[in-house]
Structure 1
Amino acid sequence: MIALVAVLGLCVGSFLNVVAWRVPRGESVVRPPSACPGCGRQIRAVENVPVLSWLVLRARCRGCGERISAVYPAVELATGVLFVLVFLRFGLAWDLPAYLYGAAIAVALTVIDIRLHRLPDAIVLPSYVVVAVLLVTAAAGTGDWGALARAAAGGAILFVAYFLMVFAYPAGMGLGDVKLAGILGALLAWVGWGALAVGAFSAFVLGGAFALVLVVLRRAGRGSGIPFGPWMMLGAALGIGAGEQIFSAYLDLML
């Protein structure tokens, strides 16, 4: 099962490369078929095998020899690894599809946000519907309607919290972060309140630490814009993976 999930993740990662390139440009992710941006040569199926094709082609287009960015296999590998980690966390459970979907959009949004400092509505807004349907299905399958109510409340809480932060300090983050917060809040709160608390707090700790390192290394100044979306998603991953245990340990230490 782990091998199957890994292969699924690699294939999804290959598609996410298309999503990350085309969606910000307003292009279809279905048509036309993938082609080399240098010579326009259509990429054949045998040349589109995740990771392996990049290695066999030695990171160059077979037609014109233009270099193929290492970002492509990195996205595929990252998605494969994330899918395996999600499977190890949830197993063959009703809520597994929701978190596999969350991992997939996290990879695509991270690439886009790093490149363009944007979190496109074309990915974020439909994800509300997808995540809602998947969590409702999970609640129906398990009978845990309390978890669904907690997820809805968590999504609303994190959305409102980010909205208030943007309202108070617009230069700190964008509305894309606010919209993403609702999805992450729902996925975190489905796991538990501790996961929500750790996931939300970790985003600011990790993002702040990264910004501080850049300032110390003189790679950025106090006014430099740093995409916050990737840190939101990394914090959410920490909350989903170990948030309940971290929060429980924190309460034990304090009490």
Structure 2
Amino acid sequence: MEYGILPLIIVALLGAIIGSFLNVVILRLPEENSSIAYPASHCPKCNHPLSWYENIPLLSFLILGGKCRSCKEHISWQYPLIEASMALLGLGLFLHFGLTLTFLAYFCFSAALLVIIVIDFYHQIIPDLISLPGIALGFLFSFINPEISWLSSLIGLLVGGGALYAIAWGYFTLRKQEGMGGGDIKLLAMLGAWLGWQSLVFIVFTSSLFGAIIGLIALRIQNKGNQTKIPFGPFLCLAALVYLFYSVEIQYFFQLYLNGQWP
């Protein structure tokens, strides 16, 4: 289905605005007793309250030259990157699903994954406030989701959480140390609920592969005697986003492989 330029602009603007809000969530959610609604947006360095024209997604960063108008300290590139990422995700989802309830649902799902990626990268935690409601919402949405059935969602959340729990238990049994946190287990259950059990092989394999590659690179460049802890959540989320957009192609090639028609 073809769309005019105006709907695409509106969706991109919506994505950028939501991305601006996600920056607030990313900054405040890991902090205990912190509200995402209060106080109003301000510079994290000097606490200067931001005027409306200093809080326009993407544009304000460019106009201000990436610096706070008050203290002249550099603004983190995270802010425009999150806004741009959400705008691009919104466009991709709109072109993929059209103006449907499925688009709106997976738009919220993608926003949640974006928050998890950044928080887990910086803090090595996956907030239960996102993953636990995400599991429930993914399963409830499956009853009206044309992409997957409720049974696929149910199996996905049970197998997703159970598979990572088994891996984590086996690693702990062999190495006597924790290799995967409970947040990753709940996250994969959430991904299974939203994307169905068919997604799990691709998500686990792809995230493990790239996680291992990044881990080996980190080991090569780290100082001797130090251990680099690589969060697994971002790899799970990125693999899930790839599957969300290319599930048909992935399942097609997987079927060819099972039938011995693809090396």
TM range (shorter): 0.7 to 0.9
Aligned pair partner of 2:154 in 140, 146, 152: 152
Aligned pair partner of 2:26 in 12, 20, 43: 20
Deviates more, 1:64-73 or 1:119-128: 119-128
Given the alignment of the two structures, is residue 249 of structure 1 paired with residue 256 of structure 2, yes or no?
A: no
Partner residue, 2:217 = 213
Q: Residues of 2 paired with 1:188 and 1:36: CA distance?
A: 38
Aligned pair partner of 1:169 in 168, 171, 179: 171
> How far is 1:199 from its partner?
2.4
Q: Residues of 1 paired with 2:165 and 2:183: CA distance?
A: 10
- Secondary structure in structure 1 of the residue aligned to 2:30: helix
Task: Tell me: CA distance 1:209–1:88, structure 2 relative to 1, closer, same or farther (3 Å).
Answer: farther
Given the alignment of the two structures, is residue 41 of structure 1 paired with residue 48 of structure 2, yes or no?
A: yes
Tell me which amino acid in the other structure corresponds to 1:116.
Answer: H
Partner residue, 2:15 = 9
Tell me which amino acid in the other structure corresponds to 1:65.
Answer: K
Tell me which amino acid in the other structure corresponds to 1:123.
Answer: I
- Does the 8 Å CA contact 1:202/1:238 hold for their aligned counterparts? no
- Does the 8 Å CA contact 1:159/1:181 hold for their aligned counterparts? yes
> How far is 1:247 from its partner?
3.1
Q: How does 1:221-240 map to 2 (within 5 A)?
A: 223-240=227-244
Tell me which amino acid in the other structure corresponds to 1:196.
Answer: L
Given the alignment of the two structures, is residue 87 of structure 1 paired with residue 112 of structure 2, yes or no?
A: no
> How far is 1:254 from its partner?
4.4
Q: Residues of 1 paired with 2:23 and 2:121: CA distance?
A: 14
Q: How does 1:1-150 map to 2 (within 5 A)?
A: 1-26=7-32, 27-136=34-143, 138-139=144-145, 147-150=149-152
- Secondary structure in structure 2 of the residue aligned to 1:252: helix
Higher helix share: 1
Q: Residues of 2 paired with 1:24 and 1:218: CA distance?
A: 27
For these two proteins, the number of residue pairs brought into alignment is: 247
> How far is 1:54 from its partner?
0.7
**RMSD of aligned alpha carbons:** 2.2
Q: Residues of 1 paired with 2:62 and 2:122: CA distance?
A: 24
Q: Residues of 1 paired with 2:69 and 2:47: CA distance?
A: 12
Tell me which amino acid in the other structure corresponds to 1:8.
Answer: L
> How far is 1:219 from its partner?
7.2
> How far is 1:221 from its partner?
8.4
Query: Which whole-Å deviations, capped at 9, do the CAs of 1:136-191 have from their partners, x for residues lacking one?
Result: 3x34xx5x8x71221121111111111111222242210010111111112221xx
Partner residue, 1:197 = 201
Tell me which amino acid in the other structure corresponds to 2:22.
Answer: L
Query: Which whole-Å deviations, capped at 9, do the CAs of 1:76-114 have from their partners, x for residues lacking one?
Result: 111111121222222223322221111101111111111
TM-score under structure 2 length normalisation: 0.85
Structure 2 residues without counterparts, runs of 5 or longer: 1-6, 173-177
Tell me which amino acid in the other structure corresponds to 1:9.
Answer: G
- Secondary structure in structure 2 of the residue aligned to 1:240: helix
Task: Tell me: CA distance 1:185–1:16, structure 2 relative to 1, closer, same or farther (3 Å).
Answer: same
